[in-house]
Structure 1
Amino acid sequence: MEKVNLTSDFILLGFSDLQYNHAAFFSTILVIYALTWTANLLLLSLIILSAQLHTPMYFFLGNLSVVDISFSTVTVPKLLSTILHGEASISFLGCFLQMYFFVFLGVTEIFFLSVMAFDRYLAICNPLRYKSFINNTVMVMLASSCWVIGTLHSVVHVYIVSQFTYCEDRLIPHFFCDETPLIKLSCSSTSLVELLIYTEGSIAIIITFLLILISYVLIARAIWKIRTSSSRSKAFSSCSSHLMVISLFYCTIIFIYFRPPSNYSSQYDRIVSLAYTIITPMLNPFIYSLRNQDVKQALKKLIVQRSALS
């Protein structure tokens, strides 16, 4: 069998084996991608330009917007290419670069979501000491930790998978270079490595999920003790958007990566992957902005200021 080397190409099949309206699907993905860029850039601009949004929560949210823009950009251009041409060629190096950034940004997003949950816990359960806990130095350290952990996690995974021997079957039944389909293309023995990757990845997801779960259990207990319904509603609304984002992201991640290898289905994985690679990055800024009075007020104030200057 022919071994794939650095000069060989993989072929991303995308959705070429499924029957669908190519023009409608292409248009839908393109619109979603454009909305992802527009909404996240608008939210990021608001956070930078509006003094009232210069708080820890919006600092982390700004980082999340950067992750979402980058996350969708890693996969969507190639997806659009596979829709147009039926399949898309990607070099050995390009495939593993795409996998690196995909894993890096996915893990970084998971850790930012957990940091944001911890931030909401401190803000609601320890409001008087919140500013002393989360100062500028702590904010930068927490954000930097998310980026660094994502980088290290991705380097380990990509290095391990890139050491496999890949033979003449170069067809990847996915719209991007993900770990599972690449491992299944290998003609090396991968059972031990699969267990290692699955265990290490599971630990990262479980730790962040438990941190989020514990944070919101404590938040719910604190909110329950609030006497007035209006104060209780205000406290809950400050974290309900974050809960929606977590639900969208974690449900799809758990569906794909917390299954036995025997239950792997390329068709289902491709469809579900659309949710967390394309839909979630678009919805995040809308969920936070449409349900958040601070963002709405900052947008109105910015519009009034720009109108006055013109």
Structure 2
Amino acid sequence: MARSPVRTTIQSDSGIPFRLVYADTKAPQNELPDHLHDWHEIIYVYRGQGTIFIDTGLEDMQTGDLFIIPGNTVHRALPDEINPVTSSALFFSPGLLTAAAGGSASVLLSLFERCRRRRVYKRHLTPEEQAKVTAFIEEIHAEFQMENQLSAHAALLHLQLLLIFLERLEDAGPARTVHSNSGPSWLSATLSNIDDKLRSGLSLSELALQAAVSPAHFSRAFKKYTGMTLTDYALARRVIMAKEHLLRNDDTMASVADACGFESLPHFYRQFKKITGTTPAAYRRTRNG
């Protein structure tokens, strides 16, 4: 049975929409499928090396790197075969902070929106900053290990302190755009403009022609550097576009399907539910309250 190209559901044992995957070493053979979920994510790298594909670009992963990944951002870690990355990953629902922090939530979450807007997801931490971030993660891990009635809420308080610390880092000096040089130049150019092509129909032969490579080479390189096939990536981007349309306006489902480049309304319903686990109408209803 073929797996879904994206991992859409995050399981939480804490009773609140917040999860920590602690100090996990991800070898290439057991790395999770490409991520596409509504939860925000923070990844801290303790050691090892590799690359991570986020949105439309590749980033190197090494000791002291911190990645801020907004919800509904396609991403996939590609660990090194000899020296794979060991990292901790925090996942949480943005609504969790809205409920817990009230009016301060928008400030705490602004970091993620800036990363999305600027397409800068990585910050390399100084040794002092690394110590502070790892201390916050240790506190969260310790609370989840206790498993008493107040542990999840205490872990949430430490998450808020971590976000305050990261926001202050941004105030002191925003992260700089430093993309990996491991991919071919045509790949970044293709990814930067792919959303426009999704609306009018994506053609492998046209993309390969623009990249000045053969379709077979294009497909192999795309999969090597992103961890996804072009078809899987295009579907994930279409679903993201559809989510934005569903929440931003009251357009009909047929209009949303057409605007996002789905072949037909039934195709839109089928693929959206396959990726998100819910129908477009139910997604709009639950997210808009």
When normalised by structure 2's length, the TM-score is 0.31
Which protein is bigger by CA-based radius of gyration? 1
Higher strand share: 2
Q: Which has the higher contact order (CA 8 A, sep 6+)?
A: 1
Higher helix share: 1
When normalised by structure 1's length, the TM-score is 0.30
